[in-house]
Amino acid sequence: MRDMINYIVFGWYPYLCLTVFLLGSLVRFDREQYTWRSGSSQLLRRRQLTWGSNLFHVGILLIFAGHFVGLLTPIWVFDTLGISHTFKQWLAIVIGGVAGIACFVGMTLLIHRRLFDPRIRTTSSFGDIAILLILYVQLILGLSTIFVSLGHLDGHEMVKFMTWAQGILTLQPGVSAAIADVHPIFKAHLFLGMTIFLLFPFTRLVHIWSAPVWYLGRRGYQVVRTRRPMIPAE
């Protein structure tokens, strides 16, 4: 029974989450573009928003990049570069810990602002508050895994997660067995992380897809106004 639950949660559930994540985002963009926004409330308690938003976004981007590179880079790449599992484990703990603390402080400011300012609370939907609290719990779980990771600095536990994540993306059957015996807090962190992907298309998180990275390569332009009266064309 235990093996079956592990297979369903870590062998089948990831594909459900990824499917809903991709197709749901596409359908929402196609059918409900007006809702494709983050719902800004920046005119209210702006200073707290600035600090909270900056800390949250810097922290979460570093965490996401760390997870993406750490989990999806083939093990042989690290071996070729001479990066040991122990060094990689310490790197994840230190950088992940600093980014996690910054993100935690930022999210605490954002949650306090959204829940305890009556004006902002009134303009917030159930989804806005729910996804913020879910991310908060996920962040706390992630920070809690650091204390467990300190007990196995050889990095072999991390290799299990790399094997699982890469196996899911390469459609390897039975890969859920790779993490069958890991600490429960890691499993809770993985499960909630996948659930966030499942909920993604139905929340304000979709604005991530609209990050204006194309501005970096955009040609500059200048709007010039003239004082001369415009003569209408006949």
SS3 32: coil
The answer to whether 152 is a known ligand-binding residue is no
Residue 194 tokens read as 């996948």
The answer to whether 57 is a known ligand-binding residue is yes
Residue 198 tokens read as 């499942």
> Maximum Cα–Cα distance for the chain, whole Å?
83
CA 106 to chain centre: 14
Q: How far apart are CA 43 and CA 46, in angstroms?
A: 6
| Exposure b/e, 87-119, CB count within 10 A at least 16 = b | ebbeebbeebeebbebbbebbebbbebbeebee
Which residues are annotated as part of the binding site? 57, 67, 189, 207
Residues forming the annotated binding site for heme b? 57, 67, 189, 207
